[in-house]
Amino acid sequence: MTEIVRLALEEDIGPGDVTSLACISESQMAAGRFLAREPLVIAGLGLLAEIYQSPVTLLKRDGDSCAADETIAAIRAPARLLLERERVALNFLQRLSGVATAARRFADAVAGTRCRVLDTRKTTPGLRALEKLAAAAGGVTNHRMGLFDAVLIKNNHIAAAGGVRNAMERARAASTLDIEIEVRTREELREALDAGATHLLLDNLTPAEAAGWIGEIAGRARVELSGGITLENVRAYAETGADFVSSGALTHSARAMDISFRLELA
């Protein structure tokens, strides 16, 4: 059992589900079904076997689309077990399916362009790995997992290092990882390109401004756009010629999807 599942069960069940212990006999068996209550992209199914520690019949795979009232998974186990773990299972499925559904909408919005959608580190504490798996299931590309697997020089790094060139030179000397650098002005853009930048982050530009900057870059570096990118405007940003757009909304603002659990005595 993964630590996050163990913690979730411990948080909810504690020393025991007093309601189920009081109302349900230990020998009572039951069958349960997880149902989509609205159209969604499912994610998190791999957690069900960990949560229940019992065989689960999966009728969908992560990344599959589900229609309203469609059965996603089924399980047969002691009724007490099904009841005490229902909320934890639903919490994971609803949250992760929300991320996957949002990701699919973003990916669909940029279809036909050369641009890929990236997720960010704006994730629920402790759930980053799961939320990034859900984002990928929905069809977007995972950005760095944390501060340890890629160098991303942002405005405060530049200020602390004493400028764009200083920051880049120090990063190159210290790391062999891919280096991306944020530039906020045309002057910083030119300084970064002159210093050999191959991956640029342009933040908080309008689509028209971004297109102008990308025209000046002229293919000399890969370009990521970020800041204020929503489902409503992501297509406009993707059509600027950017290689990537990133949006924290994929994770920090994803709505939990409506999934229910139906139990019947077996």
Active-site residue numbers?
87, 122, 154, 182, 203
Is residue 38 a contact partner of residue 228, using CB atoms and an 8 Å limit? no
Is residue 72 a contact partner of residue 42, using CB atoms and an 8 Å limit? yes
Residues 6+ apart with CB under 8 A from 138: 41, 43, 63, 99, 100, 101, 102, 103, 104, 106, 107
- Report DSSP letters for 163-227, one per residue: SHHHHHHHHHHH--S-EEEEE-SHHHHHHHHHTT--EEEEES--HHHHHHHHHHHTTSSEEEEES
H helix or E strand, kind and range, residue 151: strand 151-153
Name the DSSP class of 67.
Answer: -
**What are the Cα distances from residue 220, in Å, to 150, 169, 239?**
20, 18, 18
The residues that bridge with 262 in the sheet, in sequence order, are 33
Residue 11: Cβ within 10 Å count:
9
Q: How far apart are CA 184 and CA 226, in angstroms?
A: 12
Rg (CA), the chain: 23
